[in-house]
Every structure is written in structure tokens, then in C-alpha cells.
Structure 1
Amino acid sequence: MAAEDYDSQLLESVAVRRRRMRDAVLFGAQRGRRVADERIGKAVAGLVIAAVLCAGCVGWSFISHRLIGKVGTPGQVSTR
């Protein structure tokens, strides 16, 4: 049983070491700073997406209100 625990610990430590080496090669020494930059970028992207969705909802509401206003009154003639 102790041999299996040792083997699993060894395999896990090798996997952790490989992941750290891969991250060091891919991201360099300033990984902590890049994580903060990525989080700020994701937050800004989320705000932009939310603003675009809100603008789309307002635009859709405006257009649908204008169309309902034209179609909803059959007795009136449009002046345009």
C-alpha cells in the first residue's frame, strides 16, 4: 500500500512540475502580472458586452414601439 501511495505522489509531482515548466515557457517570469491584466481585460470585455446588449434592447424597444404605433391605429392616415 505504501508503494502505491509513493507512486501516485511521484506521478502527481511530475505532473505538477511539467505544468509549471509549460507555464514558465508559455508565459515567462511575470505570470502574476499577466493574470491581473487578463482579469482586467475580461472585466472590460464583460462591461462592453453588457452595454451592447442594453443598447440592443433599447433599440429593439424603440423600433417595436414605432411599428406598433403605426399599425395600431387603423383610422389614422400617416402624414409621411
Structure 2
Amino acid sequence: MTIDYDQQILESVAVRRSRLLKAMLFGRERTRRAFNDGLKFLFISAIIATIICAGCVGYSFIINLFAESDFDMGGPASLEVR
């Protein structure tokens, strides 16, 4: 069985870089969570925010539409000129 020292060194460097990255991102709690755990919640919150914004825009559009139709029908906001 041959020992590939170059491969062993490359794997050692990869492990060290991974540990340094986790230490920089998470500090002492690096073994408890991974970087990808937060991405899931970020995407979910972005989708919820998009839905809420679309709902607000739709509500505003409908209220504006009703206000304009009330104005055209001679509602309380319109002035009739004879």
C-alpha cells in the first residue's frame, strides 16, 4: 500500500481551512451549526416578505380602484357641474 503524502497534506489543509472558516463565522459555537442553516431561514423570510408586499400593493390598488369608481359615479367626493 503506497502512502500519498501530497494527498494527505491537501486534505490536512482543507480541514484546517474549514475549521478556520467556522471559527471566524461562529466563534466558539462552530460545532453546533453550519453556514447553510441560516440560508434556509433567509430564503423563507424573503418569500414571506414578498407575499406581504404583494398583498399590500394589491390592497392599495383595489382601494384606489374603488375610490376612483366612487368618484366617477357621483359619490361624495365628486363635484357635479351643471
- Provide the residue aligned with 2:54 in structure 1: 54
Q: Which runs of 5 or more structure 2 residues have no equivalent in the other structure? A: 1-19, 77-82
Q: Select which of 27, 30, 39 maps to 2:29.
A: 27
Amino acid at match of 2:51: A
TM-score (norm 1): 0.56
Q: In the superposition, relative to structure 1, how do residues 68 and 39 fare at CA in structure 2: closer, same or farther (>3 Å)?
A: same
Show structure 1 runs of 4+ deviating over 6 A.
Answer: none
Q: Distance in 2 between matches of 1:40 and 1:20?
A: 18
1:1-80 correspondence to structure 2 within 5 Å: 21-23=23-25, 25-32=27-34, 35-74=35-74
**How many matched pairs?**
59
The structure in which a higher percent of residues are helix is 1
Percent identity of the aligned residues?
A: 5
Amino acid at match of 2:30: G
